[in-house]
Amino acid sequence: MENRWSEQEAAACVRQWGPRWGDPLALRTYASRLLGRDDRLVVHGGGNTSVKATLPDVLGRQREVLFVKGSGYDLATIDPEGHVGLELGFLRELRALPELADAVMVNTLRTHALNADAPAPSIEALLHAFLPPRYIDHSHADAILALTNRTDATDALRDALGDAVIVLPYVHPGFALAKAADAAFTAHPGCRGMVLMHHGLITWGESAEESYRATIDLVTRAEAWLEKQRKRPIIATELIEPSVARERYRAIAPWLRGLLARKADDPDRPYQRVILRVRNDRPILEFLGAPCGREVAVSPPLTTDHLIRTKPLPMWCQDPADLEAGIAAYAQAYGEYWQRHATRAAPGTIPFDPLPRVILIPHVGVVCVGADVHEADIARDITLNTLALKRLVTEGGSYVGLPEDALFDMEYFPLQTAKLGRRKPPPLARTVAVVTGAAGAIGSGVCEVLLENGAHVAATDLPGEPLDSLVRQLQSLYPKRIVGVPMDVTDPDAVHAAFASVSETWGGIDLVVINAGLAHVAPLAKLDLEDFRRVARVNVEGTLNLLTAIGPHMQLQGTGGDVVLISTKNVFAPGAQFGAYSATKAASHQLARVASLELAERGVRVNMISPDAVFSSGERRSGLWAAVGPDRMRARGLDEKGLEEYYRNRNLLKSRVTARHVGQAVLFFATRQTPTTGATIPVDGGLPDATPR
Ligand code: ZN
């Protein structure tokens, strides 16, 4: 493992942060980022670091201060502010106590922070306070865990790391671990680090560089030892191509996602959905297909730090056809596990849902589950890491994890569950939406509103720069929740392929916004049949293709869904010279009404929105108005601004209708505020002639 310390970079950090935060914290921040940058040392917010410094208080008295990572900060991107300053003198006095309840410890840490607005300190803060060295680095490094989680761990650790480290048996994190680590440190002077069995590594130093170097040195030695011990490479007996596994996954993803949705009490929102993330590259398929795959993979996690994301055990399903029974069996086993240990949980603890977070399916891949893509990705990254390490251990020894009671204690450790966050999720957090015609004015406005409300959005349109630039723009704001899927709505195969692609990305689809449309200006007497057919192909056949694909998808997924058709005011009040548009949109509107009749029994609601005169959304001009505007301007003798004014003044509310207004109407249906299907909301400022009837 590479030592990335650079004196130049360190000096730059001291120049940047030193004047405000002091040199020790500036160097602490630099070294923390070095650790965070390597996913063999730290994954997703894991690990924590500290430095001890002396600072004057408001009365000018010099005080010893512990700066320790705040809970929820990621070492890779941490700033000096991400470290909480705590009164070190007081914390050290806590060593005299025989025990300290978790809740009291958390409160004590918070009430002895220097800054009233400080984030909650890491739950391992007392470990940092009790150990004397100035700089402490704590990680859950892969290679160290590969040494501790094996039946021959004692020999392996001695052989790999020598006498330079203290080995501490597993102790539940918190006060007890801090005391045990402090006692071990005192008993073994001169050591460079401490290995915590089934947990991780602690190193220290009088400088940030010394502590960081100790981590790198020890992990490097562990890696070299592990590489040497690989004697029995794991080989799959029957290996399939990743492309075949992908096809298989696409076919079952919506069904699996439906099986993992929990029934809710709300008749308007009867399911609590999940987001799925899959990985099925060659090494994964090889491992899952190996004769020992199941035995090795279905074992406790590497470190208790991971299990709030993954549950104590993954689910194994040999044959995808057995997924439903497999999930039921997993849930039952999880319920029994809870029953076996419930008395150990704090009074009033409610068990987590019994469904798996990680599902291993040979010849398909690893599927991870979360409330949104962020959560599912954390579970997936941890799982991939875990499987690689379990494989490495098994190739030269045999893997062993923690016993069940220790897993339970950590899964229901209140300080750990607090990491999952208590913030109220946005209304569409668990929703996957497909928006057609996304690169247009209304489409992009709808995408924005859905993303702002937490949805995962597949923006679809014809391939090309308008779609690409929209996706780039939205990805800068919502990196994980927007994908661009090129799709021609007039091609049924393209629609099916797009649905499969979105299902592969997030597990399925819950909301389809049918927005792609074309306009053409000509009086009937001059309406060319080919022009009419061109408009009809998009407006009518495009809508039909989507409605045709939605039925089987929703049937397979089994959790209902929503369809919103962006209709038009012209359906109710057509415009002269606008026959092709008005007639074809009327046909699509009627198709949506029929869909509302046919899909209701599957829990799918189909509603329509009829906007009027949406000219643009930010920089995006409406394609429809690009086609229609010049003619309308000529007919009324107006310029562009004048035409917008004209449309504003013709509605009752004198409103300028925007793409975001249309997005808000989609949100109304998508969040299911009322039990409504087959209905139309006008978004037009009030046009009595165009009121739906
Ligand atoms: Zn830890």
Q: For residue range 326-352, what is the model confidence (pLDDT) as tens digits?
A: 999 999 999 999 999 999 888 888 899
Cα 214 to averaged position of ligand 1 atoms, centre (Å)? 17
Q: Kindly report the number of other CB atoms within 10 A of residue 369's CB atom.
A: 24
Window from 384-388, 393-397, 557-561, 624-628 with minimum mean pLDDT: 624-628
pLDDT, mean of residues 15-19: 94
Instruction: Determine contact, residues 125/177, Cβ cutoff 8 Å.
Output: no
Largest CA distance in the chain: 98
Phi, psi of 519 (to 5 degrees): -125, 160
Fill in the DSSP letter of residue 412: T
Query: Which residues place a Cβ less than 5 A from the ion ligand 1?
Result: 200
Unique residue bearing structure tokens 């922070």: 113
Q: Kindly report the number of other CB atoms within 10 A of residue 496's CB atom.
A: 16
Window from 37-46, 75-84, 198-207, 580-589 with minimum mean pLDDT: 37-46
State the catalytic residue, choosing from 135, 212, 330, 581. Answer: 581
Q: Cα–Cα distances in Å, from 68 out to 62, 81, 124, 210, 427?
A: 19, 10, 9, 18, 35
Q: Give 624 or 547, the one with higher predicted confidence.
A: 547
CA distance 505 to 81: 35
pLDDT, mean of residues 257-280: 95
pLDDT value at residue 416:
62
CA distance 391 to 384: 11
Instruction: Determine contact, residues 610/683, Cβ cutoff 8 Å.
Output: yes
* C-alpha Rg value of the chain to the nearest Å: 30
DSSP structure string for 426-472: PTTTT-EEEETTTTSHHHHHHHHHHHHTT-EEEEEESSSHHHHHHHH
pLDDT value at residue 642:
86
pLDDT value at residue 232:
79
CA distance 69 to 28: 10
Phi, psi of 516 (to 5 degrees): -60, 135
CA distance 568 to 517: 10
Query: For 80-132, how does the pLDDT look when each residue is reduced to its tens digit (9 = 90+)?
Result: 999 999 999 999 999 999 999 888 898 899 999 998 888 889 889 999 999 99
Percent of the chain with pLDDT over 70: 98
Instruction: Determine contact, residues 580/536, Cβ cutoff 8 Å.
Output: yes
pLDDT, mean of residues 57-77: 90
Give the distance, in angstroms, between the CA of residue 589 and the centroid of all CA atoms in the same chain: 36
Please determine, for residue 419, whether its predicted confidence score (pLDDT) is greater than 70.
no
Confidence of residue 500 (pLDDT cuts 50, 70, 90): very high
Contacts of 543 (CB under 8 A, 6+ apart): 489, 514, 565, 587, 588, 591, 592
Phi-psi category of 439—alpha, beta or left, where left has phi over 0 and alpha has psi -120 to 50?
A: alpha
Mean pLDDT of the chain: 92
Instruction: Determine contact, residues 434/542, Cβ cutoff 8 Å.
Output: no
Cα 45 to averaged position of ligand 1 atoms, centre (Å)? 11
H or E, element range at 276? strand 275-279
> Nearest Cα to 433, choosing from 196, 666, 173, 124?
666
Confidence of residue 616 (pLDDT cuts 50, 70, 90): confident
Cα 193 to averaged position of ligand 1 atoms, centre (Å)? 14
Query: For 136-154, how does the pLDDT look when each residue is reduced to its tens digit (9 = 90+)?
Result: 999 999 999 999 999 999 9
CA distance 669 to 290: 48
Cα 50 to averaged position of ligand 1 atoms, centre (Å)? 13
Confidence of residue 420 (pLDDT cuts 50, 70, 90): low
Long-range contacts of 572-578 (CB under 8 A, 24+ apart): 572/610, 572/689, 572/690, 572/691, 572/692, 572/693, 573/687, 573/689, 573/690, 576/523, 577/521, 577/522, 577/523, 577/631, 578/519, 578/521, 578/628
Q: Dihedral, CA atoms, 78, 79, 81, 82, nearest 10 degrees?
A: 10
pLDDT value at residue 43:
76
Q: Give 69 or 636, the one with higher predicted confidence.
A: 69
Window from 9-18, 231-240, 592-601 with minimum mean pLDDT: 231-240
Cα 218 to averaged position of ligand 1 atoms, centre (Å)? 17
Unique residue bearing structure tokens 């959304």: 617
Please determine, for residue 674, whether its predicted confidence score (pLDDT) is greater than 80.
yes
CA distance 35 to 11: 17
pLDDT, mean of residues 607-623: 83
pLDDT value at residue 309:
85
Cα 127 to averaged position of ligand 1 atoms, centre (Å)? 10
pLDDT, mean of residues 644-660: 90
Catalytic status, residue 271:
no
pLDDT value at residue 4:
95
Q: What number of residues does the chain have?
A: 693
CA distance 188 to 205: 15
Q: Write b or e for each residue in 397-426: b if 16 or more Cβ atoms lie within 10 A of its Cβ, otherwise e.
A: bebbbbeeebbbbbbbbebbeeeeeeeeee
Unique residue bearing structure tokens 């999940």: 274
Amino acid at 236: A
pLDDT value at residue 202:
97
pLDDT, mean of residues 447-465: 97
According to DSSP H, which parts of 139-291 are helical?
Answer: 142-148, 153-161, 175-187, 208-229, 242-260, 282-289
Confidence of residue 301 (pLDDT cuts 50, 70, 90): confident
pLDDT, mean of residues 558-567: 97
Fill in the DSSP letter of residue 350: P
Confidence of residue 313 (pLDDT cuts 50, 70, 90): very high
Cα 198 to averaged position of ligand 1 atoms, centre (Å)? 10
DSSP structure string for 48-71: EEEEEEEEE-TTS-EEEEEEEEBT
pLDDT, mean of residues 618-643: 78
Phi, psi of 652 (to 5 degrees): -60, -40
**445 is written with which tokens?**
């406005």
Cα 350 to averaged position of ligand 1 atoms, centre (Å)? 25
**296 is written with which tokens?**
């090795």
